[in-house]
């Protein structure tokens, strides 16, 4: 059945959803509702096709003197160009890896080679552990780790605390673009400015932000920014942007036979070529979405920006409906920004707890009715500890993506109300 357009969206939801085959699944006769995007989004058919087409027609290792190998080189170059459009960077500043965590360990170990006692790294209580543990690993070299606190009332980052803690001993400020637990979007541009003022590098985890908003690494002026394509409608891979000068100067741990050219010196062993083919397809999916809302978009980058403009506008409306409904549920505690006037400072990812039921109990009951939510800390361990919910099962997380509908949100709210009783 076609989905009626609302005044809050330029997106054609019927057309969007038709591209995602998995959205038509059912659970116990009920349509599945995917509210688990923060753990990984669904993929459009063109991503599935790109992966299987690669395996059918181009499957080979790189740099061989024959057709499939040459096609593989072209597939990787295409994906680098696609991600350069996505980041607003040069293609030689795009590094592929298995996931964000592995890429972050690669960069932290490499930066760590130059650090020792007296050096400091600034992390936050809001971040996913993948932007915490790789830096904490440098404590064994004598590096001091410091943490920026949050404002507990709305789970925003305490920027005054950050400004006070960043100093001339700080070598890296590692911070998330958006929280995968409570949805807060950080003022990354300002944080990068504060880091640079003291001579520190800024390392940005954009994994959670990437499906929800446009990234412009030049405008942010960040030194590194990392994301995972499986969170923005693509395959399970991680992608890193690094400023050219850093990718050239820093020394990676790598095998001797690997080239020393940038960016390949940061890519070790054979990459996941079929998923790299899928990355181009997911960027092109987003660009096509942008061209539908803004046919005059003349470049892929312009089309991506148009797509994200429409996604942001649509998701803010959905988030408002979701949060407004959640706040009326008796016994429910909401974590994060709930003020409708501040929706642009959050992603449509919310965390709640309900008195008398653990997050796992809630997620299980919802799951049986076809609502896919998440429970626990989702690796935002610093935050669940800071808010003292770690010992009680963490949070229940509801994450919206642009393929969700207002009708799904209403059905979810009705189901949760019933479950809560
Ligand atoms: C905000 C954030 N950062 C980092 C990660 C880790 O990403 P990956 O699974 O690609 O290592 C996740 C995964 O959930 C995340 O949500």
User: Per residue in 288-303, pLDDT tens?
Assistant: 999 999 999 999 999 9
Closest ligand 1 atom to residue 205 Cα is 3
Q: How far is C-alpha 350 from the geometric centre of its chain's CA atoms?
A: 15
Report DSSP letters for 149-215, one per residue.
-EETTTTEE-HHHHHHH--TTEEEEEEESB-TTT-BBP-HHHHHHHHHHTT-EEEEE-TTTTTTS--
Which residues on adjacent β-strands are paired with residue 202?
173
Ligand 1 touching residue 208 (CB < 6 A)? yes
Average pLDDT of the residues in 19-27 = 98
For the cut 70, the answer to whether the pLDDT of residue 208 exceeds it is: yes
CA dihedral 124, 128, 130, 135 (to 10 degrees): 10
pLDDT band at 6 (very low <50, low <70, confident <90, very high): very low
Cis peptide before 263 (omega within 30 of 0): yes
Rounded to the nearest angstrom, the distance between the alpha carbon of 131 and the centre of ligand 1 is 8
Ligand 1 touching residue 99 (CB < 6 A)? yes
Tell me, what's the pLDDT at 9?
Answer: 77
For the cut 70, the answer to whether the pLDDT of residue 71 exceeds it is: yes
Residue whose token pair is 């920006």:
305
Of the chain, the end-to-end C-alpha distance in Å amounts to 31
Tell me, what's the pLDDT at 298?
Answer: 97
- Strand locations in 152-237 (E): 156-157, 170-176, 201-205, 224-228
Of 244, 243, 183, 181, the closest CA to residue 213 belongs to 183
Classify 351 as helix, strand or coil.
Answer: strand
Q: To test ligand 1's pocket by mutation, which of 126, 130, 205 has the most ligand atoms within 8 angstroms of CB? A: 130
d(CA 139, CA 116): 9
Burial class (CB within 10 angstroms; exposed 0-12, middle 13-18, buried 19+) of 169: middle
SS3 content of the chain, % helix, strand, coil (to 5): 45, 15, 35
Q: Decide if 314 contacts 402 (C-beta within 8 A).
A: yes
Q: Provide the token pair at 395.
A: 């949070």
Tell me, what's the pLDDT at 81?
Answer: 98
pLDDT in tens, 113-128: 999 999 999 999 999 9
Tell me, what's the pLDDT at 5?
Answer: 44
Of 241, 236, 233, the closest CA to residue 284 belongs to 233
Ligand 1 touching residue 180 (CB < 6 A)? yes
d(CA 229, CA 236): 6
Residue 29, number of CB atoms within 10 A of its CB? 6
Ligand 1 touching residue 228 (CB < 6 A)? yes
Rounded to the nearest angstrom, the distance between the alpha carbon of 257 and the centre of ligand 1 is 30
Rounded to the nearest angstrom, the distance between the alpha carbon of 3 and the centre of ligand 1 is 32
Dihedral (CA of 301, 304, 306, 309) sign: negative
Of 335, 337, 323, the closest CA to residue 388 belongs to 335
pLDDT band at 1 (very low <50, low <70, confident <90, very high): very low
d(CA 96, CA 41): 19
Ligand 1 touching residue 58 (CB < 6 A)? no
Closest ligand 1 atom to residue 104 Cα is 11
Tell me, what's the pLDDT at 8?
Answer: 56
Phi, psi of 221 (to 5 degrees): 65, 25
Closest ligand 1 atom to residue 227 Cα is 10
pLDDT in tens, 355-408: 999 999 999 999 999 999 999 999 999 999 999 999 999 999 999 999 999 999
Closest ligand 1 atom to residue 99 Cα is 10
Of 219, 223, 217, the closest CA to residue 199 belongs to 223
Tell me, what's the pLDDT at 421?
Answer: 87
Ligand 1 touching residue 37 (CB < 6 A)? no
Tell me, what's the pLDDT at 135?
Answer: 98
d(CA 104, CA 93): 15
CA distances from 194 to 16, 150, 198, 389 (A): 39, 17, 7, 31
Give the rounded percent of residues in the chain with a pLDDT score beyond 90: 97
d(CA 17, CA 76): 28
Ligand 1 touching residue 73 (CB < 6 A)? no
pLDDT in tens, 303-333: 999 999 999 999 999 999 999 999 999 999 9
Rounded to the nearest angstrom, the distance between the alpha carbon of 419 and the centre of ligand 1 is 30
Average pLDDT of the residues in 148-177 = 98
């Amino acid at each position: 059945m076609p989905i009626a357009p609302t005044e809050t969206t330029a997106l054609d939801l019927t057309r969007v959803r038709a591209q995602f085959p998995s959205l038509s699944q059912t659970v116990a006769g009920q349509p599945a509702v995917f509210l688990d995007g923060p753990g990984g989004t669904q993929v459009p058919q063109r991503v599935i096709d790109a992966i299987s087409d690669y395996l059918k027609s181009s499957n080979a290792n790189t740099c061989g003197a024959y057709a499939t190998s040459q096609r593989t080189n072209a597939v990787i170059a295409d994906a680098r160009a696609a991600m350069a459009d996505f980041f607003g960077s040069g293609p030689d500043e795009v590094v592929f890896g298995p996931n964000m965590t592995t890429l972050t360990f690669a960069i932290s170990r490499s930066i760590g080679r130059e650090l020792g006692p007296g050096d400091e790294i600034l992390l936050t209580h809001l971040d996913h552990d993948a932007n915490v543990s790789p830096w904490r690993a440098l404590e064994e070299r004598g590096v001091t780790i410091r943490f920026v606190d949050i404002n507990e009332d709305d789970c925003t980052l305490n920027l005054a605390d950050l400004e006070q803690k960043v100093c001339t001993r700080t070598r890296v400020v590692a911070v998330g673009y958006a929280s995968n637990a409570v949805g807060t979007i950080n003022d990354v541009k300002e944080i990068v400015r504060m880091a640079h003022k003291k001579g520190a590098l800024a390392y940005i985890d954009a994994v959670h932000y990437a499906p929800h908003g446009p990234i412009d690494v030049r405008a942010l002026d960040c030194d590194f920014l990392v994301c995972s394509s499986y969170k923005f409608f693509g395959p399970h891979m991680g992608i890193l942007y690094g400023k050219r000068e850093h990718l050239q100067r820093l020394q990676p741990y790598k095998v001797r036979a690997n080239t020393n050219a940038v960016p390949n010196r940061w890519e070790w062993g054979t990459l996941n070529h079929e998923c790299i083919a899928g990355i181009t397809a997911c960027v092109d999916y987003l660009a096509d979405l942008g061209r539908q809302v803004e046919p005059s978009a003349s470049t892929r980058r312009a089309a991506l920006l148009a797509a994200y403009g429409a996604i942001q506008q649509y998701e803010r409306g959905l988030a408002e409906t979701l949060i407004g409904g959640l706040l009326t549920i008796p016994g429910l505690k909401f974590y994060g920004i709930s003020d409708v006037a501040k929706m642009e400072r959050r992603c449509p990812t919310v965390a709640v707890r309900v008195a008398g039921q653990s997050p796992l109990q809630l997620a299980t009951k919802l799951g049986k009715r076809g609502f896919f939510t998440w429970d626990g800390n989702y690796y935002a361990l610093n935050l669940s500890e800071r808010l003292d919910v770690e010992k009680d099962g963490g949070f229940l997380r509801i994450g919206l993506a642009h393929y969700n509908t207002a009708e799904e949100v209403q059905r979810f709210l009705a189901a949760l109300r019933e479950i809560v009783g």
